[in-house]
Amino acid sequence: MSEKSNQKNNFTFNWILQNKLAIGTCPIYKEDIYVLKKNNVKNVLGLCSEEEAKWHKDIANNFFCKRIILPDSNKNILPTNEEIKNAYTTLKELICKDITFIHCFAAIERSPLLCILLIMEEYNLEMEESLDYVKRVHKLTNPRNNQLLLIQNFNF
């Protein structure tokens, strides 16, 4: 029986910054590793817990991996400023080292939020402009308004 059995692989991979930062869903299948490798990804930053989405067992053998757990809207709590800052700082450090893939469970809220923040800082854009850009390159992007308010006036 194949590793996927009867499940459909809905792995998503989109470039936020070409050959620098990509975003998508949790890499849980062997095929997902191939996509990451084909795109020369070296680092994987996960923003969800293992209980939400467990990486494929070979991820750590192929990439530098780090998990920083941020709550999503299903938890009915917002990440703290300190949690956002920690995740954001880690993302920037990884990008400086090599091509990085960021994900959360569905790539809808948490990982797009950090990408929006990065675009705001890197290109000195307003939050709305950054949100529009991330939505254009990653169609799944849909952070909640209260999550966006967290980063609107973020102090870099």
Q: What is the pLDDT of residues 73-88, one digit of tens each?
A: 988 899 999 999 999 9
Q: What average pLDDT does the structure give for the chain? A: 93
Assess if residue 84 is contained within a domain: yes
**Cα dist from 136 to 2, 87, 100, whole Å:** 35, 23, 19
Domain coverage including residue 66: 13-152
Q: What is the model's pLDDT at position 148?
A: 96
Assess if residue 7 is contained within a domain: no
Q: What is the model's pLDDT at position 3?
A: 43
Number of domains in the chain: 1
What confidence tens digit (pLDDT) does each residue in 114-132 have? 999 999 999 999 999 999 9
Q: Buried b vs exposed e over 81-112: b needs ≥16 C-beta within 10 Å?
A: eebbeebbebbbebbeeebbbbbbbbbbbbbb
Q: What is the model's pLDDT at position 99?
A: 98
Assess if residue 112 is contained within a domain: yes
Q: What is the model's pLDDT at position 9?
A: 74
Assess if residue 4 is contained within a domain: no
pTM recorded for the entire structure = 0.93
Assess if residue 3 is contained within a domain: no
Assess if residue 63 is contained within a domain: yes
Residues in the chain where the model's pLDDT stays below 70: 1-8
CATH number for 33: 3.90.190.10
